[in-house]
Chain A
Amino acid sequence: MSSPASTPIVPRPVLVARDVRVSLQGSEILHGVGIEAAPGEVVALMGGNGSGKSTFVRALVGAVPTTAGTIEFFDAPASAQARARVGYVPQRMTASGGLAATALEVVTSGLLGHRALRPGRGANTKALKALATLGVEELAHRDVSHLSGGQQQRVLISRALVRNPQLLILDEPMAGVDLQSQVAFAHALGHLKESGVAIVIVLHELGAIARHIDQAVVIEHGCITYVGKPPQDLGVHALPGHDHEHAHEEPAARAGSGLGLEGPQ
């Protein structure tokens, strides 16, 4: 399915979301936001606390229902089948389970999906390989609830990677994570980008992965206020959407529906 080498064609986006609206407990959290991500592209979704960026990615992966708008994966409306090629990394490991589970069991659960109620052959090998990608294969048989925040985060990323996703959606994978885990993650992210995986990543600050980011999308109060290149070599304080920022009146800002996003140049 590769395009002719002579004519570089901009790859079609694998994720197209338009005018997505989400209401929680009767009040609208997202007022029509959109995003696009093409193969090999890293899109950073930024914004302050309570801006709706987390709700947006949870809507993308089907964890919260939308009240309006369209979400398309791989040129087709989001369906259980399409989710087979999507990897999702939640903000943190849920403590909802009452029993212990090993990192290997958690990562293996990433092999399941719409028509895959069992992980199939070679599941452990695949899961160990995914853990090794993030340098935590030695934690395979440890109880995940006893791991540090950074180790848990790497297990959750492994669980998404074991799916061999073509679209990876991560919700603040760097929040409260030790430097070693950040470096391991940045390394893995670079490899995924090179291999053509589209990546949408919710970030509070650019940190260790700044150089991989092609596009920044800023959400404030449930609306998109900025779409464009992330400021290079600048700290998080220069970015719109940082907590200390005031109103966003940057020239590049295109508030509203988020239609017509530009790909990276």
Chain B
Amino acid sequence: MSLLMEPLVQRMLLAGLLVGITTPVVGTYLVQRRMALLGDGIGHVALAGVAAGWLAGSAAGMAQRDTLAIPGAIIFAVAGAVAIERMRSKGAAADVVMAVLFYGGIATGVLLIGLAGGSNANLLGYLFGSISTVTWVDVWITGGLAVAILVVGLYLRPALFAVTHDQEFARSTGLPVAVLNMVVAILAAITITVAMRVVGVLLVSALMILPVAIAEQLTHSFSRTMHLAMGIGAVLTVAGVAITLEHDLQPGALIVVLGVAAYVVTNIGAGLVRRVRGTP
């Protein structure tokens, strides 16, 4: 218990909890729209943003060259999300657009970090997460963005559900369909940059999707899927962080492996229940 008194442990758990609760909110909309891999695409664009922020920071002669890394990531991620949504709404194949962003993002990131005088190792912190170096400023920024995501993602749930469930009907009711589609894309971009410090770009998408994939096997309701996924996300991240306090494991990777294990167990369990009940 004395570990809980350690400021670093408090920061890690708090950051983990914030990320665990917020990412599945956006993930629910992405799974509903069959764009589960959007997080991966935007995540790699965010990585290019990290490198661009790094380059800007060193060009401005800042003492800490990574000061502008997160602002850079947010700008790049939002721009990438807007680009994906615009191309998708014009009928482009969403998977191809996401693939282009994925490769373009990581290649641009490697090029820019080199120009900034950094190494690929500097990017690794963002690729795999570095929750053990989280500062109180990081926690405050994460908290602020998490609140914004929760307010928008939960308040607009009925409208975002309507648009993602049946776009044609939503249009017939007079709902601002294009604006709401853009809100989902921008929410995804902001969520990724929030989660980046904790689980890393590579695993952000997993933390968005895994809790939703687990929750959807346990309920038939859209809103309950979302609420359950938020709880599962919180449990996964806090459990992952707690285990790494005792064992020397990489927290981001551990959280995802825990999620995959929970998914497999739920899948088998749900299959058994269906077989016992005799329903397909």
Residues of A within 8 A of B (CB): 58, 61-63, 79-84, 86, 88, 90, 93-94, 96-102, 105-106, 108-110, 112-114, 117-119, 141-143, 146, 159, 163, 169
Given A97-B32, A100-B220, A105-B222, the answer on whether A63 and B161 have CB atoms closer than 8 Å is no
Q: Using an 8 Å CB-CB cutoff, how does the interface string of B90-123 with A read, 1 for contact, 0 for none? A: 0000000000000000000000000000000000
A159 touches B169 (CB 8 A): yes
Q: Using an 8 Å CB-CB cutoff, how does the interface string of B215-229 with A read, 1 for contact, 0 for none? A: 010011111010000
A100 touches B174 (CB 8 A): no
A163 touches B173 (CB 8 A): yes
Neighbouring A residues of B225 by C-beta, 8 Å: 99-100
Q: How far is the CA of A96 from the CA of B35 in the complex (A)?
A: 11
CB nearest to A123 among chain B residues: B158
CB nearest to A110 among chain B residues: B173
21 chain-A/chain-B pairs, Cβ below 8 angstroms? A58-B168, A79-B174, A82-B174, A83-B173, A88-B173, A94-B166, A96-B165, A97-B32, A99-B31, A99-B216, A100-B221, A101-B161, A101-B221, A101-B222, A105-B161, A105-B223, A109-B158, A109-B166, A117-B159, A118-B155, A118-B158
Query: B212 within 8 Å of A by Cβ?
Result: yes
Neighbouring B residues of A159 by C-beta, 8 Å: 169
Query: B2 within 8 Å of A by Cβ?
Result: no
A84 touches B173 (CB 8 A): yes
CB nearest to A163 among chain B residues: B173
Neighbouring B residues of A88 by C-beta, 8 Å: 169, 172-173
Distance in Å from the Cβ of B179 to the closest Cβ of chain A? 10
B220 touches A98 (CB 8 A): no
Query: B28 within 8 Å of A by Cβ?
Result: yes
Which one of A81, A96, A102, A110 lies within 8 Å of B220 (CB-CB)?
Answer: A102
A99 touches B168 (CB 8 A): no
A105 touches B172 (CB 8 A): no
A63 touches B168 (CB 8 A): yes
Residues of B within 8 A of A (CB): 28, 31-34, 36, 155-156, 158-159, 161-162, 164-176, 212, 216, 219-223, 225
Neighbouring B residues of A96 by C-beta, 8 Å: 34, 164-167
Distance in Å from the Cβ of A65 to the closest Cβ of chain B? 10
Neighbouring B residues of A61 by C-beta, 8 Å: 168, 171-172
A98 touches B221 (CB 8 A): no
CB nearest to A101 among chain B residues: B222
Which one of A93, A98, A112, A146 lies within 8 Å of B31 (CB-CB)?
Answer: A98
A112 touches B175 (CB 8 A): yes
Q: How far is the CA of A141 from the CA of B224 in the complex (A)?
A: 12
Q: Is the interface of B mostly helix, strand, loop or mixed?
A: helix
B168 touches A100 (CB 8 A): no
Q: Is the interface of A mostly helix, strand, loop or mixed?
A: loop
Neighbouring A residues of B170 by C-beta, 8 Å: 109, 112
Neighbouring A residues of B158 by C-beta, 8 Å: 108-109, 112, 117-119
A99 touches B167 (CB 8 A): no
Neighbouring B residues of A118 by C-beta, 8 Å: 155, 158-159
CB nearest to B166 among chain A residues: A94
CB nearest to B180 among chain A residues: A117
Distance in Å from the Cβ of B213 to the closest Cβ of chain A? 10
Distance in Å from the Cβ of A227 to the closest Cβ of chain B? 25
Q: How far is the CA of A96 from the CA of B172 in the complex (A)?
A: 17
A141 touches B221 (CB 8 A): yes
B166 touches A83 (CB 8 A): no
B159 touches A112 (CB 8 A): yes
Which one of B167, B172, B212, B216 lies within 8 Å of A86 (CB-CB)?
Answer: B172
CB nearest to B29 among chain A residues: A99
Q: How far is the CA of A3 from the CA of B93 in the complex (A)?
A: 54
Which one of A90, A141, A169 lies within 8 Å of B166 (CB-CB)?
Answer: A90
Given A63-B171, A90-B169, the answer on whether A109 and B162 have CB atoms closer than 8 Å is yes
B34 touches A100 (CB 8 A): no
Q: How far is the CA of A143 from the CA of B217 in the complex (A)?
A: 12
Which one of B32, B162, B212, B219 lies within 8 Å of A112 (CB-CB)?
Answer: B162
Distance in Å from the Cβ of B167 to the closest Cβ of chain A? 7
Which one of A83, A100, A105, A163 lies within 8 Å of B216 (CB-CB)?
Answer: A100
B168 touches A90 (CB 8 A): yes
Neighbouring A residues of B28 by C-beta, 8 Å: 99
Neighbouring A residues of B164 by C-beta, 8 Å: 96-97
Neighbouring B residues of A79 by C-beta, 8 Å: 174
Distance in Å from the Cβ of B89 to the closest Cβ of chain A? 13
Q: 12 new A-B pairs (CB below 8 Å) besides A61-B172, A96-B165, A112-B159?
A: A80-B176, A82-B174, A88-B173, A90-B169, A94-B166, A94-B168, A97-B166, A100-B222, A101-B161, A102-B220, A110-B173, A143-B220
Q: How far is the CA of A152 from the CA of B32 in the complex (A)?
A: 19
Interface centre among A58, A86, A99, A142 (most CB of B within 10 A): A99
B32 touches A99 (CB 8 A): yes
Interface centre among A82, A88, A169 (most CB of B within 10 A): A88
Interface centre among B167, B171, B176, B220 (most CB of A within 10 A): B220
A83 touches B161 (CB 8 A): no
